[in-house]
Structure 1
Amino acid sequence: MFGALSRHFVGQRLSGEGHGTLAVNVLGSFVLGALTAGLTSDPTLLALVGTGFCGAFTTFSSFAFETVRLFERGKRRKAVANATINLVGALVAVGFGVLTASTISL
């Protein structure tokens, strides 16, 4: 529930064609990368934050819908850019999350 509320808050602050969705997907990917790289080894915390918060915070279906909607409206370049930035951004964010977690000693 907290993840979904956070996603709604970000979406309200970043209006525009997919900006909120991009932000939550990249930020959620960073958090998940950091968690799974060893920021915590507690399986309960991993499930709670990783599956619970990140699962409710990020939204692949909204990303897909927004990309298709851009194509349907004839904004093909924006659609391709949206798809590329979301996918590459999420992958890079996971990498930075892993890197960040590996430099933090808890």
Structure 2
Amino acid sequence: MMFAYVALGGGLGALCRFFLSDFFNSKGSIPYGTWLANIVGSLLLAGFIVLRTKEVLPESIWQLAGVGFCGAFTTFSTFGKETIQLLQTNRIKEALLYVASSLIISLSVVWLTFSLFIK
């Protein structure tokens, strides 16, 4: 039964990322939709991990939201593809900003969430 929760969450996460990317990626010099999805997804996953660690989140919701939704909402493969596209079009500054800000902000929100809520 857990695979159904993962599949449902994954489908919802993929759709949300698609619409977010579709809306924001044309707004500037870097792919803001993917950037936002990865940062928000990192924050959401950190929150779900906190709830799971504190035994507040049932296994089925963890599979739906943490594994399925966050797994499909965030995307390393698209991040990699977009970084390469920026480099191939000689947009080195944008590529570096995209990579650095994605990593620093995503890891920071996870670290901050864990620091505040897991003792």
TM range (shorter): 0.7 to 0.9
Give the structure, 1 or 2, with the largest relative contact order (CA under 8 Å, sep 6 or more): 1
Does structure 1 residue 35 correspond to structure 2 residue 48? Answer: yes
Q: Conserved in 2, the CA contact under 8 Å of 1:32 and 1:97?
A: no
User: What percent identity do the matched residue pairs reach?
Assistant: 30
Q: What's the counterpart of residue 110 of structure 2? A: 94
CA RMSD of the aligned region, Å?
1.8
Find the aligned partners of 2:46 and 2:103 in 1 and give their Cα distance. 15
- Assess if the C-alpha contact under 8 Å between 2:25 and 2:34 holds in 1: no
Out of 44, 52, 58, the residue aligned to residue 60 of structure 2 is 44
Amino acid at match of 2:18: H
Is 1:84 matched with 2:97? no
User: Which consecutive residues of structure 1, in runs of 5 or more, have no partner in the other structure?
Assistant: none
SS in 1 for 2:51: helix
TM-score, with length taken from structure 2:
0.76
Between the aligned partners of 1:96 and 1:13, the Cα distance in structure 2 is 28
Q: Spell out structure 1 runs of 4+ moving beyond 6 A.
A: none
Shift of 1:99: 5.2
1:30 and 1:95 in contact (8 A); partners too: no
Alignment partner, residue 67 of structure 1 = 83
Deviation for aligned residue 1:97: 3.5
Q: How many residues align structurally? A: 102
Is the Cα contact below 8 Å between 1:30 and 1:96 reproduced in 2? no
Letter in 2 for 1:6: C
* 1:76 Cα deviation after fit: 0.9
Does 2:61 align with 1:53? no
The offset of 1:15, in angstroms, is 2.5
TM-score (norm 1): 0.85
Once the two structures are TM-superposed, the CA of residue 67 in structure 1 deviates from its matched residue by 0.6
Partner of 2:13: 3
